[in-house]
Structure 1
Amino acid sequence: MSEQSPQPSAPSPAAWLVRLLALIAGILFIALLTALLPPGSALAVLLLDHHAAPPPNSPFLYPLTIQNLMHLLLFAGFGELTVRWQALRYEAALMSAHLLPEDPRVVLQSHDLPAIRAQVAGRHDGERGLLPGLIDLCILQFQSSRSVDQVVSVLNSSLELSAHRLDLQYAMLRYLVWVIPTIGFIGTVIGIALALNLIDPNAGAQPLGEIAKALGVSFYTTLVALIESAILVLLLNLVQTREERLLNQAGHYTLVNLVNRLYAGH
């Protein structure tokens, strides 16, 4: 291979820093909504549970509300998605780096493999660099066994393990997708309980208007939670599908341009 392979993009910020910045962005988002929406307005009550005067018997004092907690969890999800997107971009750059000879007439023999290993060295670790890792593993297996069948077996096993590892990396996002609507339902149950507390069994006339209003507000947490959960589910599926497609492309690229071209000789 005579042409120089392009290097992947510069290393991304550490995952913990991305997650921290996402939480800070969530706090700024809440602060911005607080500044823009007058307390007691319809949007302020819906999005922030920010009333002009604290509701009677409410355990939540602004800004410590269910809605604000869900906003922070939403931005935590955005942070996780950003981490996965950065990993996806790195893997996509490696797929475009032409790490293997792609001329269909090329046959790879043992003396060709050290140069390929040297090219992929340092581009993969336990978490990133799927394609270089596959190439390195297949070359090592071929150098030790001289068997293409064993290389294919190792490639398949590595792809299965990579798919499982990829699925585990979305565990936190799946939890956030679940916990946001759960917290919304909890907020609704608390709101209904507070609304029912307005009923005075000893009073002749009940404040039906206040009870109805309190019941309506109690469902806001569920509404906001379902919308935010739907946003996260959409983005999660888009990013995960792209990562799984890259995994399949890496396996196919390695099979076509390395495994199928290996020649053990005599």
Structure 2
Amino acid sequence: MQTEPLHIMPWRIEEIDLNRIDRQRAVANEDLLLLLCAASFIESGSDLYTSNLSIFFNGDPEVSTWLNTEWEPEELQHGRALKAYIAHVWPEFDWDGAFERFFAEYSQTCSFEDFEKTRALELVARCVVETGTATLYRAIGESSDDPVLKEITDNIRSDEVRHYKHFLKYFRKYNEIEGNGRLAVLGALLRRVKEIRNEDSEIALRHVLAVRYPEHADDLAYNRARTARVNALVRRNLSADMCVKMLLKPLDLPAKIQPGVHYPLTKITQHVFFR
């Protein structure tokens, strides 16, 4: 019986020397560590989303094989990498306990009801998500002066950009079949842009805060203030232009009308990503 060749990971967290981290300096940037921990939870739960996507693309071995043999292992490594960084800097933090409570809540929010109605439009939505994560990790890298964290986030960002290109390729494949017009594609794109700062990140950060600051677990005002600080930390380094360029590609617009769409889409992304 012929088996699929093992996927060779483009990088491995085990090959990054975490002992190069200036722990004292890293600990001082607590808001950044909270953000990294929340991101590690979402990345570590990506196998659930992969399972749903594989079912959605049942019957297409090209897409489902890529999802299971490349996309999922790389996404899960993002979670392991961020977890390893957190464990090195915050060895006292109960990551496993906090993740277990996060996943119990998060898993209830992942359903097919959140998917777009067609495969092509769901692939547009995935392009938006990959755009958001690539932008986030670029901003995190620019927010830190730790060379180890920069190496990790550069690796993750490169993975996310490559994932985006795969989803874009599969979108074009399916859109030839479905024939969705630009208006339908734009609708799917905007729906996911508006949801990009959705309950996933809120759930993750809430569970991080509950374990890190158990004395404030029921203090809504405190948690809102800490969340606002975390969001503001990287806002200045988020690139609206990078977002918009990636978001425009599925629309395949003629060059002469791109400027007319670029401006309103920039305003929307600025409101969603940078508020």
* Structure 1 or 2: more helix by fraction: 2
Q: What band does the TM-score fall into relative to the shorter chain? A: 0.3 to 0.5
TM-score normalised by length of structure 1 = 0.32
